[in-house]
Amino acid sequence: MNVVEAIKNKSEINKMKKCLQDRERLMFVIGINSGLRISDILSLKVSDVLDEKGKAKDRIVMYEKKTDKRKSFPLNKAIATELKKVKYVSMDSFLFPSQKGGAISRVQAYRLLNAAAKRAELGYEIGTHSLRKTFGYHAIKAGTPVHIVQKLLNHSSERETLRYIGITQEVMDDVYVNMNL
């Protein structure tokens, strides 16, 4: 099994966005801005994110498949902007519909993201879990306390969260190098 990493460089995130279009870009943006697991992203319906008038809702309220815990979070500007760019069939349809009916599969989501990573010339493999890891990594880098990120990702310990998002010795060494008080 391949272990995928967070996309740690914001310029690489932007390269990915440029290599994705429409729904695939929306899937990527929701993932890196929410920390949701791909199974939860793919199960979203249009009515989960848009109101009756077709405007982005203030919040997504859902139950996570893996934990069956209620999750409620505000839609940020990045997600709302991407929602405006996609055409929707109906409020009852999946946000990421398959041509065969239902939502696209995790495997298809992986293929779409990895193909974009190759086009973006990232030089490493990403997967569906990279989105969630990217959210956690950048939340930590932005100064969010580890215990808050731990809670957002539903992890059992801070140690698990740090390992999960790829806080390596190199990252910790950078703290010392850049301190210079």
Own/partner pairs for 40-44, CB < 8 Å, 24+ apart? 40/64, 40/65, 40/71, 41/95, 41/96, 41/109, 41/131, 42/94, 42/96, 42/103, 42/104, 42/105, 42/106, 42/109, 43/94, 43/103, 44/94, 44/95, 44/96
**Is residue 147 among the annotated active site residues?**
no
* Residue of 15, 129, 133, 138 marked catalytic: 129
Neighbours of 17 (CB within 10 A): 17
Picking from 47, 51, 16, the residue whose alpha carbon sits closest to that of residue 31 is 16
**Is residue 66 among the annotated active site residues?**
yes
**Is residue 138 among the annotated active site residues?**
no
**Is residue 119 among the annotated active site residues?**
no
DSSP-derived 3-state class of residue 10: helix
* Residue of 37, 45, 133, 138 marked catalytic: 37
**Is residue 155 among the annotated active site residues?**
yes
* Residue of 66, 77, 87, 100 marked catalytic: 66
**Is residue 164 among the annotated active site residues?**
yes
* Residue of 15, 25, 45, 132 marked catalytic: 132
Active site residues: 37, 66, 129, 132, 155, 164
